Structures are given as structure tokens and as C-alpha cells.
Structure 1
Amino acid sequence: MAHNRSATAELDPAARIRQLHLVAAARVAAARATSVQQVTDIVRVTVDDEVDTRTFAAIVTDCSAGLPRS
């Protein structure tokens, strides 16, 4: 399956990361994730090896911000 990316994302990797972050956050909200593990799984599927480990962790942390603490 071919990737469907905009020209801006091809020219600006930071724009692609912002786009992935927003998509991941929307998916987490739509799924009504209740645990960090659920958030991690959703983000993993969303970013699909397009970001480094540090960026992945930052997206997970940001998307988990609204979850209740255990």
C-alpha cells in the first residue's frame, strides 16, 4: 500500500511529525483510551516506524496526559 503524504510533509519532516501527533491524539480521544498501554498501542499503529523512540515516547506522554493516574 502506498503512503498518502502531502507535499508539505515530504518537504518538512517536522510537519509530518505534527501531523502524526495530531492524528494519534484524535484516535486516542475517539477510542476513549483508559490506560497508557492503550495509548501506546494506538500511537504505535499511527506512527508506524516514522518517528524515533524519543519522539514516540513524547507523543505517548502527551496523549496520555488526560488519563487518570493509577
Structure 2
Amino acid sequence: MPYNRSATAVLDPAARVRQLHLVAAARVAAARASTPQQVADIVRVTVDDEVDTHTFAAIVTDCSAGLPRR
């Protein structure tokens, strides 16, 4: 069955980025990622070339905020 995006995501690219950000954050939390590399890997799979490099880095930084500092 093909993936069907909502009409909102198609009309508003910012809404799609917010949705991807929330999904990535939920996956990071569920996986209990403990390193920035694990977070980056999860985000990379989640966004799957739908965002630019700067947006990807911002999502990784935000999702890494709860990790312990070394």
C-alpha cells in the first residue's frame, strides 16, 4: 500500500518539517539513544532526504539536548 501524505503536509512544507522533527524526537526517546551518533542515525532514517543539511543538523542538535555531556 503506497504512503499517502496528508494534504496539510503537501501544502505547508514547514508543517512537514515539524512533523518529521516530532517523529524523530519520539524515535530517539523510544530507542533511548545515548550518543549523538545514535541520534544522528535515527534522525537520518526519519527525515530520509526530505530536509536540507542545516535543518537536519538542527533536528539532531535538538534531539541530542537531553543526552548526558561527556
Q: Same fold (TM over 0.5)?
A: yes
Partner residue in 2 for 1:19: 19
What is the CA deviation profile of residues 7-39 of structure 1, one whole-angstrom value per residue up to 9, with x for unaligned ones? 000000000000000000000000000000000
Partner residue in 1 for 2:44: 44
Q: Which amino acid aligns with 1:11?
A: L
Partner residue in 1 for 2:35: 35
Partner SS state of residue 33, structure 2 = coil
Q: Write the distance in 2 (CA, Å) between the matches of 1:4 and 1:46.
A: 16
Q: What is the TM-score when the length of structure 1 is the normalising length? A: 0.96
Q: Write the distance in 2 (CA, Å) between the matches of 1:64 and 1:43.
A: 10
Q: Which amino acid aligns with 1:66?
A: G
- Aligned residue-pair number: 70
Partner SS state of residue 58, structure 1 = helix
What are structure 1's unaligned runs of at least 5 residues? none
Q: Write the distance in 1 (CA, Å) between the matches of 2:53 and 2:4.
A: 23
Partner SS state of residue 23, structure 2 = helix
Q: What is the TM-score when the length of structure 2 is the normalising length? A: 0.96
What are structure 2's unaligned runs of at least 5 residues? none
Corresponding position: 1:53 with 2:53 = yes
Percent identity over the alignment?
86
Structure 1's consecutive aligned runs of 4 or more residues displaced over 4 angstroms after TM superposition are none
